Structure 1
Amino acid sequence: MTCTSDCVIMTMEDKTLEDARQGGIYSLWSNICLTALRSEVRIVTITSSPFGADEAGFTGGPPVRAISIDDEPGVQVVESGKADIEADDYEEMLKARIPLGNNPRKASYLSYRASGFSVRESCALVPVSFATVKKWRREDEEFREWESGEKLAWLQSNVAHDLTQMEFMRNFRLCLRLDKKVLYKAALSLSLLTDREMEVLKVIRKHYTPQDIMAVQRALVPEPDHMPPGSYKESITVTVEGRQVEGENARRLAARELLENFESGKRALDALPEPTEQSNGDKPLEGEILDSGN
């Protein structure tokens, strides 16, 4: 048997498969031909008889018919897409800030160390053996410098926060996806829920409150160093009696106290009697310059 066709996966009915087995060609049908064309994966089904003298690309064998979904002659593309997946730009920016990016395992190890994990915990999370880390220390001076001391402290203060926030937001999005499935099913009918889904619904229902929405909105506000191009963020500094007030609630309280003090001072001034003009008669006013006659 010789197959000269390009990129095929052949599908058959049970009866056809039995006929092929009796004809001694079951081993041929157990093989799947998969070809990558221009960085694309194509899975096709043969919809005409693969055996017979009038069929191009096949020689010999009993007349067996291959069945496709639409059962029409020709070749049908089932799935097509690029094999490579482009990484997220933000993730690439974070990785670029981690040194030793040419070795992904070293960079991953440093990212866990920057997040506060111990050496052995980081080894288990990468994963990489502790013996390999000791070898990196001996042979790579740059890695040895970044793993401890001031450079590790720099990673902890500049990269760890962004990495943690990115992974937290990913996990948060996945949790919302699971919640959506349960809530959508419950909206159709509570009777459709299984006992386990009902328990999940009881747990997640209490987390959808206005306070939770406000907390999420505050968490999604970008930091000043990560604002989109062209945008800006206003900052107000409140100082009361030489003391800088921190926090939104504290600022509101300080502003309220300032307003009350201002109103109190205004009321005190309004309560004072109006000043009356007093005449000195012919006496000169204090500080008045008299003409010396020169």
Structure 2
Amino acid sequence: PAQVQARGLAVQTLVRVEQRNLLAERVAAELRARNDFEKAPGVVRRFLTGPWSQVLAQARLEVSDASPVSPADSPALRYSDILPDLLWSSQLALASLNRPRLVKVIPGVLRTLREGLDSIDYPREKTESFFQALMGLHEAAYKTQRSEPAPHDEPPSVQHELDDEPWMQRTEARDSCLMDDSFTDGPSTQVSTQPAFLETRPLQRDWADLKAEMAGQGAQVLPVGTWVDVLQDGQAMRWQITWASPHGTLFLFTGANGRSLSMTKRGLERLLEQDRLRVVAHHGVVDEALDEVARQAWINSSRS
């Protein structure tokens, strides 16, 4: 029962993660469409289309579940309202021309940014790293004198600003048993001693073709029921795909002992690239045996 409950929690968590990430992609597109977005420094643009889009997405998802609040107290509204001040204050050429406004808006912007990042449990070290970069921009704008030539911002970066890896909070990674090297307390410590069992036959497959199919078709290439061997801690562990998210970005595996393991689509692709994941069968020998029993029963009934 405990394993069934854990699997239910994992599925529920993964559904929420995919829903938030899909909404965050739309939020990021909205942010890029702003007139003041492209002139902001690259570090600010990457922050907005990365963690801050997750903050806005989660706040919007929580609106329907929250008790009625006044517009001024809505986190989703507060997190959006600081965007003009954040983008303006990060542009040296503009912020340096109005130091009184800069001094006035900085405390509120920093306070709201920290509140939003805390709401998604964003790693503290990454939060402080961004704050240092942002405060460096603010300091440079404040120290620039009116008599000096207006400084020029760096040209917009062409670097892709969104990671294709779905964002998860640490609690979500734990609840969904995410296989990720960045979470040392994850499921890798739970399954390292699980023995592989030999009831399936290796499936001959060209891995380059499989990866190309995954890129185009998502979860359809590795359907629910597929058995895979995952090389983990130097040992091959056998898992079966027992659930895939509606959009094919997240997968849930179940081991022989009933424990669960989740993985992102990008994580699957990485394991394939590293030759750490191999498909051994699209269904187990138990399924084949049941099919054979049914076939034999049909033959026997037709003869009688």
State TM-score, norm by structure 1.
0.24
State TM-score, norm by structure 2.
0.23
Point out which structure has higher relative CO (alpha carbons under 8 A, 6+ apart): 2
